[in-house]
Amino acid sequence: MADSDSLKIALLQHIPQPDNVAKALSRLEETATIAADQGCAILLVPEASITGYNIPQTTMQRVALQADGQTTTAIAEICKQTNIAIAYGFAERDGNDFYNCVQIISRTGNIAGKYRKTHLWGDLDRTLFNAGNTLACNTNNPLARIDGWKIGLLICYDIEFPEAVRQLALAGADLILTPTGLMQPWRDVAERVVPVRAYENQLFIAYANYCGDEGDLSYEGRSCITGPDGDDLARAGQTPVMLTATLQRKAITDARHALPYHRDRRPELYALATESSQPPGPAK
């Protein structure tokens, strides 16, 4: 499809149903059909939506998926049948290693991009997953492209690191898709941090969360699609819902013209931000 000045996207906020890949695929197909009928080009679902996120290690051993396995083939068929790209989170198996992964399949059923979570959250992530070691914006793993839009991928906790979002913005991302499993009581991440990340990088962010419970976690919901001006185009509450919004490329141009953050950066002053060092201690 030709490059487009607008892009309609959908995201699904749903209650987790871990350890049920068949149910996840059924939910994905149903939602993709509805989103495609509404003219959406992309559907985004939450972190590890296909396999479950807060699951025991024994369950992880059973449900983790290969990135190019049968489940990917099934999702690719959904994409082709509905003519919609799908970005989905899943627990990835790579040999004896496991990663928290998001993959985007194009309208034609091809893998358009893949990313492994680089910033692991607490004991939950660290007991289940290895950390990814690269952002999806380099020569070997470039930004995804859907209908001419350049798309970056992050997962949950990653969005809370300004350096990660800025790197994707500098690589040319127009939109960052972020499947998440934001749990209580971290509501401010969804309602404050995500809009700030969109505003300071002058791009669109879609942030797809769970609602309800999974094991001992209660999720915040509050999924959103936020514009380059930091304003919400769509915002969920704490119940299951599919959000949609139409993104306009002109909004990026207007934001960057009004506030030339990218032009006025002085990276020679920011060396400390890229060094591996311990943060300062608490103020005395």
Annotated catalytic sites, by residue?
A: 47, 117, 156
Backbone angles phi, psi at 191, to 5 degrees: -90, -20
Locate 1 and state its tokens.
Answer: 């499809």
> Could you please report the per-residue DSSP string of the chain?
----SEEEEEEEEB----S-HHHHHHHHHHHHHHHHHTT-SEEE--TTTTT-SS--HHHHHHH-B-TTSHHHHHHHHHHHHHT-EEEEEEEEEETTEEEEEEEEE-TTS-EEEEEE--S--HHHHHHH-BPP---S-SSSSPPEEETTEEEEE--GGGGG-HHHHHHHHHTT-SEEEEE---BTT-HHIIIIIHHHHHHHHTSEEEEE-BEEEETTEEEE---EEE-TTS-EEEE--SS-EEEEEEEEHHHHHHHHHHS-HHHH--GGG-GGGGS--PPP----
How many C-beta atoms lie closer than 10 Å to residue 20's C-beta? 15
Locate 197 and state its tokens.
Answer: 């990340």
How many C-beta atoms lie closer than 10 Å to residue 170's C-beta? 13
